[in-house]
Amino acid sequence: MDTAEIRRRFLAHFENAGHTVVPSAPLLLDDPNLLFVNAGMVPFKPYFLGQETPPWPTATSVQKCVRTLDIEEVGKTTRHGTFFQMNGNFSFGDYFKEGAITHAWRLITGSINDGGLGIDADTIWVTVLHSDQESREIWKRVAGLPDERIQDRGLLDNYWHMGVPGPGGPCSEIYVDRGPEFGPDGGPVVDEDRFLEIWNLVFMQEEITDVLAKDRFEVVGALPHQNIDTGMGLERVAYLLQDKRNLYEIDEVYPVIETASQISGRTYGRDHADDVRFRVIADHVRSGLMLMGDGVTPGNEARGYVLRRLLRRAVRSMRLLGFEDPALPLLLPVSLERMKASYPELEADFPRIEQVAYAEEEAFRQTLGKGTQIFEGAAAAVKQQGGSGLSGDAAFTLHDTYGFPIDLTLEMASEQGLSVDEDGFRALMAEQRSRAKADAKSKKGGHADTAVYRAALDAGGPTDWLAYSTLTTESRVLALIAGGRTVPAIGAGSVGEVVLDRTPFYAESGGQNADAGHLQWDGGRAEVLDVQRPVRGLVVHQVRVLDGELTVESPLEAAVDPEWRLGARQAHSGTHVVHAALREVLGPTALQSGSYNRPGYLRLDYGWSGALSPDQLRGVEEASNRALRADLPVTAQTMSLPEAREWGALALFGETYGEDVRVVEIGGPWSRELCGGTHVDRSSQIGTVVITSDGSVGSGNRRVEALVGIEGFQYLAKERDVVRQLTDLLKAKPDDVPSRVQDLMERLRAAEKAAERIKAAELLAGAGDLAHGAVDVGGVAFVGARLDGVGGGDLRTLALDVRGRIPADRPAVVALVGVVDDKPAVVVAVNQAGRDRGLSANTLVRAAGEQIGGRGGGKDDVAQGGGTDPAGAEAAVAAVEAALRP
C-alpha cells in the first residue's frame, strides 16, 4: 500500500467518524520555542494548553514534521529520519480513552476493502501505564486482546507531558510483531525491533507541576476537560505494510536511492559505508524538498542553516559515492514525483524550489573546491607535527572564511582519523555572534510568559479590532500590565501595556509595523509605542504615559496618527506592487519569501539567484510605477483557504493562516495575495515607487528595498539636488555630468600616480642619509628613526632600501617607525650577515610593537606591525636598539 494511500485512508477513517480534517501546518509554524514543527500535536498546543478555544470538538491531520537533533544519525540506523509525517486524531473534551482505542483498533485491523489497513489482529501488542488499569480493561473489551499482549510500563515510557507545567496523562502504545526474524519473542518490553511501535494514544487527564524530568513531577489535579492526542508514524506504517525493513526503502524514499545508485555506479545493500551515504542522500533530498516547499532558503542561521546542511550533506555523500557532477538536478525531481501525490503544491512551486536548490549546490561545489584544499593542508600539517586533532581556530577559519560547515569539517576529520576541538570552535562562534547580533531580548514576541495576557483575554474577551474601518474609537481600559503582571494604574513618565475593549490600532504582523498614535482621557494622554498580539484574539498596546494617570476601567479615545497610517498603507500596498512587478519582469519563480514595511519604506525578500542587471531593476521600478499610474483598484475579501489557493492567491511563506483568510487584490489577478495588512484604496495613492537597493541575503535569495509616497519623492529630490550641485560645480549640463566626472577621476588618478613617483623619489633620496647615519651597536650597524607621514608599503620599501645600502658583509638592522594620522607602524629589516649572527626581524619587531600599543610579526629578514600609541614611536626604536646591545 502506497504511503499516500495510507495517509488518505487515515484521514478518511476519522472524517467518517465525525472529525474535522485539518490541513498540515507549515513546517515553519510561528512558535518561538521551535525551529520547525516536530510533532503532530504542535499546531494544536494552544487548545491543549487552554490558550485558545478549539473551533471543533474533534480533529484529524497528517502533519509534516522535521526533527534536527538526529541529523548525524541519519543513515547509520534504520529509524532516524529528518522529515517525517505524523498521522493524528484529537479530541478536545469530546471522546476519551474508549473512543481513542476503538477508533485506532477499527482502522488498523479493518479490512482493506472497507478502508482499513488490514493488519492482522493477532500480531498486535499494546503497552499501558502500570497504574492505568482502565485502559487495560478497554483494550480487552474493545479489541479482545489477551492480558499477555497488554504490557505494563512505567512513567518513562508511558506517560506524556510537554516537559513544563501543564497538561499530562498516561499513554498507550500500539506495536506490531514483525516476526522472529527481527528479534526475540516477549513483546515490546523485550525487543522493540521485532515489535514495532506504530501509534501512541495520549490520554490528557491531569494538570502537572514541578516538572523535573520525564518521570519526576507533581500532579495538581484533574483537567477540566479530558483530551485525546494521538500520533501514528506514517513512514513506520508504510514500511510495515510495504514489507520493507526500514523507512529508507518505502515508496516515497527509495526511488532517490535507486537513482543515486544508477548515476554513481554503486549498489545499495553491498557495503555499509555506502549504504549510509545512500540513506543520507534519500532522507536529506526529501527533507530539503519539503523545507524549501514551505519557504525555507539556505543560510547561515537557524532554519536556513539546517536546510543548507541537509543539501550539502546530500551533495557530499554523492561525491563520496564517486559522483562529482551536479547531483540535485537528477535527484530532486525524483523526490518530487513521489511526494506530490500527498502535497500537490510542491509541483506548482517546483520552479522556485529547484532554482534555490541548484544555486545552493553550485555554491557548495565552489566551497568544496577551495575549502577542501585548505582542510587537507591543515590536516597534513597536524599529522606532520604528530598531532591528533584540528584546533578550534582552524575549524573556525574553515567555517568563517571558506564557508565550511562544522559538521563537514568533523566528518572529513573523522575520515582522516583526526579529532576537532569543538569547544574551541563553539567559543569562537559564540564570540562572533555576541559581536554581531543585537540584544535578543529586544525581539518582540519571544518566549515571554503569556499567562497574564491569557487572563486578560479570559476576563475581557477578544479585542474588538477595528483597524480596517476607522482611525479612532471610544474605548475602555480592560487591563494594565507592567513588569509582567497586572497593575491598577500607570502614572506619568511610565511605560506599560494597555488592553482595550476595542481599538483602531494595527498590531504588528505580516511584515507591517504597528501603528503609532495616542490614547487620550480626561486629564491625561499616552503615546502608543507598539502594538502586538501576544495571544490570539488580544491586542495589547505598549504606551508611555505623558500626562495624568491611566487606570483600569478608564474611558478614553484611541486615535491612530493618520499620517503614520497613510504611510503604512502606501508601503504595504507598495510591497504587493513590487512583488507583482518582480514576477512580471523576472518570471513566476521570483516569489516573496519575507517582507517588512513601515511608513514610506518597504523591503521584500524573494527567491532569485544572481544579481539583477540595471535593466532588470529599471524594469521592476517601471512596472511598479506603471501600475500606480493605471490607478488600479485595491480590494480585499475573505474566503476559505482552499478557495483562496484555487483562486491563485499567493501566500507568504512561514505565515500561519486560519481557515478563513483575507485576500488582497491590486488590479485583479495581477496581484492577488493572502494578507491581513492595511492598504490604500487605489494604486495611485501609493504616490511613487523608488527602488533604492537590491542585494543578496543568502544563496538563492535576494532583498529589494524601496521608498514610496512622500519619502520616495524626497529621495528623488535629494538626488536632483546632488545633480544640480554637480552641474554648477562642473559647469556642465546634467547629461554631461557622468563623462565630466569620469574625466576628472582619470586626471586625479594620473595626478596621484605622479605624486607617488615624486614621493618615492624623495624616500629613496632620504635612504642614503639614513644608511650613512648608521651607528654601531654591539658590532651591528643599526639604523633607527621615527618618520612622520610615512606608513604602510612606503615604510617597508624605505627600510629595505636602507638595508640594501649597508655593506653586505656588515651585520645590519634597520628599525623605522612611521606615523600617519596618529597611527604608528613599524618595520624591522635584517640583512643576511645579521641573520647569520642569530638576529631575527620577527623577534625584534615584537619588542618595538609593545612600545606603540600593538604587536607585529613576519620573517627573520623583514617583519612589520602596528599599534595605537604614536607617542611610543621613539621608545619603539630604542627598544630595538636595546635588544642589540650585548
**Alpha carbons within 13 A on the beta-carbon side of 616:** 15
| Residue type for position 244 | K
Nearest C-alpha neighbor of 666 from the set 579, 552, 730: 579
Let me know whether 599 and 539 are in one domain: no
Pull the grid cell for residue 762: 624623495
DSSP for 168-235, please give it. Answer: EEEEEEEEEE--GGGS-SS-TTT-TTTEEEEEEEEEEEEEEEEEEETTEEEEEEEEEEEEEEEEEEHH
Mean pLDDT value across residues 599-619 = 91
- Angle between helices 302-320 and 406-415 in degrees, nearest 10: 30
Is residue 741 in some structural domain? no
Is residue 442 in some structural domain? no
pLDDT digits (tens, 9 = 90+) for 477-488: 999 999 888 999
Whether 654 has a pLDDT exceeding 60, the answer reads: no
Residue 187 maps to which CATH number?
3.30.930.10
Let me know whether 550 and 652 are in one domain: no
d(CA 616, CA 623): 10
pLDDT digits (tens, 9 = 90+) for 24-60: 988 987 666 688 998 999 989 888 887 788 999 999 9
Let me know whether 102 and 45 are in one domain: yes
Let me know whether 134 and 195 are in one domain: yes
Let me know whether 555 and 573 are in one domain: no
pLDDT of residue 79: 65
Is residue 612 in some structural domain? yes
pLDDT of residue 436: 47
Cell 544555486, residue?
359
pLDDT digits (tens, 9 = 90+) for 245-293: 889 999 999 999 999 999 999 999 899 889 999 999 999 999 999 999 9
Domain boundary among 717, 748, 782: 717
Beta bridge partners of 86: 63, 233
**Which range, 42-51, 231-240, 743-752, is most confident?**
231-240
pLDDT of residue 217: 92
Where does the pLDDT of residue 446 fall: very low under 50, low under 70, confident under 90, or very high at 90 and above?
A: very low
Dihedral angle, C-alpha 294, 317, 337, 267, nearest 10 °: -160
> What is the chain's mean pLDDT, rounded?
89
Number of structural domains (the chain) is 5
Nearest-5° Cα angle at 762, 757 to 765: 125
Beta bridge partners of 474: 557
pLDDT digits (tens, 9 = 90+) for 575-607: 999 999 999 999 888 888 889 999 999 999 988
The mean-pLDDT minimum among 24-33, 157-166, 834-843 falls in: 24-33
d(CA 877, CA 858): 17
d(CA 604, CA 813): 60
Let me know whether 663 and 802 are in one domain: no
Check whether 272 is labelled as a binding-site residue: no
Dihedral pair phi/psi, residue 45, rounded to 5°: -55, -45
Is residue 816 in some structural domain? yes
Is residue 136 in some structural domain? yes
Mean pLDDT value across residues 664-675 = 93
d(CA 505, CA 471): 7
Is residue 56 in some structural domain? yes
Let me know whether 291 and 429 are in one domain: yes
Residue 665 maps to which CATH number?
3.30.980.10
Residue 553 maps to which CATH number?
2.40.30.130
Is residue 756 in some structural domain? no
Domain boundary among 514, 537, 560: 560
Let me know whether 701 and 787 are in one domain: no
Whether 537 has a pLDDT exceeding 80, the answer reads: yes
d(CA 329, CA 216): 50
Mean pLDDT value across residues 517-545 = 94
Where does the pLDDT of residue 441 fall: very low under 50, low under 70, confident under 90, or very high at 90 and above?
A: very low
Let me know whether 239 and 197 are in one domain: yes
How many Cβ atoms sit within 10 Å of the Cβ of residue 508?
Answer: 16
Domain boundary among 560, 590, 609: 560
Is residue 488 in some structural domain? yes
| 75 three-state secondary structure | coil
Let me know whether 81 and 52 are in one domain: yes
**Which range, 342-356, 490-504, 730-744, is most confident?**
490-504
Let me know whether 269 and 206 are in one domain: no
Q: Which residues form the domain of 842?
A: 767-884
Check whether 65 is labelled as a binding-site residue: no
How many Cβ atoms sit within 10 Å of the Cβ of residue 461?
Answer: 12
Check whether 171 is labelled as a binding-site residue: no
Residue 803 maps to which CATH number?
3.10.310.40
- Alpha carbon distances (Å) from 872 to 267, 850, 852, 854: 70, 9, 5, 10
Let me know whether 388 and 517 are in one domain: no
pLDDT of residue 355: 86
Nearest C-alpha neighbor of 359 from the set 696, 703, 650, 705: 696
CB–CB of 66/39 below 8 Å?
no
Mean pLDDT value across residues 543-560 = 95
pLDDT of residue 30: 67
- DSSP classification of residue 855: E
